[in-house]
Structure 1
Amino acid sequence: MLLKDPPVQFVTVDDIRLAYRESGSRTNPSMVLLHGLAETSAFFWRPLIARFQADYHIIAFDLLGHGDSDGPEKGYEIEAQATLVATAITKLGLSRSILVGHSLGGVIAARLTIDYPNLVHSLVLYDAPLSDTPPKNVLRFAQRVPLTALLLVLSVIFPRSMARLALGALPLRWAIKVALRRWRVPYRRERLNREFLDHAIRNSGIVLMECSRSAYLHHNLITDLPKLQTPTCMIVGDTDLLLPVRTAQKLSRLLPMGHLEIIKNAGHVALLDEPEQFNTALLRFLQNQEETYSAHVEVIDQYQEVIPQLQA
């Protein structure tokens, strides 16, 4: 596992600076990573980067309002964030990429793939809550965390003014620390270290509220999932509270080119819970895509060889 993250770089889109971290050779296929709510491009992707940076050119973004990226007052709607990232990908000159999104990043990645399919070679939705009944999942999640974390979760239910007041006064580091210590599942206590918390609290409660409201109340991808004509792998932890396995199974069946991988003994951050299982599942999906592509190329080559004979 990486012990140190790649340095921060920036790309500017419409006067907004998005931070990103770059790994691997630019001559390799591109892989773009979008983290989840209250995360950053640092720390949370380390096991994946360590495994795949030798074979892929990896770009891990800080989402709007997260990490070192700018945090404007508005622009946190899923469609707007998808367009922002798509424009950044284009400005960086990336060819059709493997797009990996965790949780909120998965929702944004799915929207980006639907709206800008030419930018995406294949899609990986990692513990991404795309349910058609998100408030129900949020409440189920809230039942398993202490009241301190409940304030964060209920930001999607309170009126915006009330939520802003509550979250603005909330000591975020203390709240997250208490919440994770009291979680029965899925987090492991050994993951609750100072570095995790340092990265998790870099984002303001207001930004977390705006992103939560957009993802859970104002965006429903269910009707759009059949439009995803892109090879898609859903990876979910078997104890994930925001995306239960049963829901993930239903969602994967809506995807025309969908595939589901279930990570055992893992929760909503499956990559950190079970990095070897996660990386093996991702590698299996990527290898299947390479084999399918090679088979298609072989068929096309054979067809092109036959055409002159048919025309003779």
Structure 2
Amino acid sequence: MTHPLRKEKNFSYIEVGEGTPIIVLHGLMGGLSNFSAVTDYFSQNGYKVIIPELPIYSMSLLQTNVKNFAKYLNKFIEFKGFDDVILLGNSLGGHIGLYHTKMYPEKVKALVITGSSGLYESAMGGGYTKRRDYEVIKKKAQDVFYDPEVATKEIVDEVYATVNDRNKLMRTLAIAKSAIRHNMSKDLPNMHTPTCIIWGKNDTVTPPEVAKEFDDLLPDSELFWIDKCGHAAMMEHPEEFNKILYSWLQKRNF
């Protein structure tokens, strides 16, 4: 199901359903449609799902970093008048969710991360020396998933266009450097927000040991695995992802 994009003030976002707000944070090259199964399921089960478009390619180059994205998210939460949200982030979106929770813990009821950066960033922003070679980019996009067929032509075309846009590529590289600078390993032990970690057992971008480290360092976390699954569990195994998350939220009375 496709949902209309709302545009208000300086924000563009999707909003569906009524209930406890779940704010979904997309990754570096992840579109809002990556979360369509999450949006449909949770908006029909007592939650308001909101997916803001993050200003990944529209902030000035000097401001393009994880910390400023977290501040932008806080402005969005204030604009919407929310005071107790659930944040759900994939890849860079997970990192932004973590950093926002570090800065504004009183605003976040619960955190959900899947394939999140924040501890291990070596795969972000690299490997674009052959960016004009479509087959190289196609292989890179397919490697994100356990099943390469999940990387549709539409997804590959979008990644190819992004890395061949000089403005977007410069920001992609700036974000990769920022992700390394904003490593969360020293912050996580002080973050007591309940956190659900859902990870693909076959994630090669942020490997399984990254998930284990998140679980070890966060004081109040639970780790769930999805088998035969790569970096974007909510796309590759949407039913299992939704079932795990819904069960965790219910158990915690969120």
TM-score normalized by the length of structure 2 = 0.88
Quote how far apart the aligned CAs of 1:287 are.
0.8
d(CA) in 2 for partners of 1:31, 1:288: 16
Unaligned runs of 5+ in 1: 142-151, 156-165, 294-312
Q: Which amino acid aligns with 2:25?
A: L
Shift of residue 83 of structure 1?
Answer: 0.7
1:171–1:101 CA distance, 2 compared to 1 (3 A): same
Separation of aligned partners in 2, 1:198 and 1:7? 22
Counterpart in the other structure of 1:299: none
SS, match of residue 145 in structure 2: coil
Normalised by the length of structure 1, the TM-score is 0.72
How far apart are 1:91 and its partner, in Å? 0.7
Amino acid at match of 2:16: S
1:202-213 equivalence runs, <5 A: 203=162, 204-213=168-177
Matches within 5 A, 1:175-254: 175-181=136-142, 183=143, 186-200=145-159, 203=162, 204-215=168-179, 217-254=180-217
- Given that 1:241 and 1:267 are in contact with CA atoms closer than 8 Å, whether structure 2 keeps it comes out as yes
Contact 1:104 1:128 in 2 (8 A): yes
1:153-208: per-residue Cα shift (whole Å, max 9, x none)?
157xxxxxxxxxx69xx438665324335x3x734232222332355456422221
Pick aligned residue for 2:5 from 8, 32, 36? 8
- Give ranges in structure 2 of 5+ residues lacking alignment: 163-167
Q: Which amino acid aligns with 1:73?
A: L
Work out which structure has the larger RCO, using CA pairs closer than 8 Å and 6 or more positions apart in sequence.
Answer: 2
Cα pair distance change 1:39/1:21, threshold 3 Å:
same
Residue equivalent to 1:60:
51
| Largest Rg, 1 or 2 | 1
Distance 1:88 1:173 in 2: 36
Q: Secondary structure at the match of 1:45?
A: helix
Equivalent pairs counted in the alignment come to 248
Q: Which residue of 2 aligns with 1:121?
A: 109
Alignment match of 1:44 (pick from 11, 20, 34): 34
Which stretch shows the higher mean deviation, 189-198 or 264-273? 189-198
8 Å Cα contact 1:99/1:122 also seen in 2: yes
Corresponding residue of 2:250: 287
Secondary structure class of the residue paired with 2:183: coil
For residues 209-234 of structure 1, give each alpha carbon's deviation from its aligned partner in whole angstroms, at most 9, with x where no partner exists: 1111111x211100100121111011
Corresponding position: 1:95 with 2:91: no
C-alpha displacement at 1:248, in angstroms? 1.4
- Which SS does the other structure have where 1:99 is aligned? strand
Give 1:77's match in structure 2, choosing from 57, 65, 88: 65
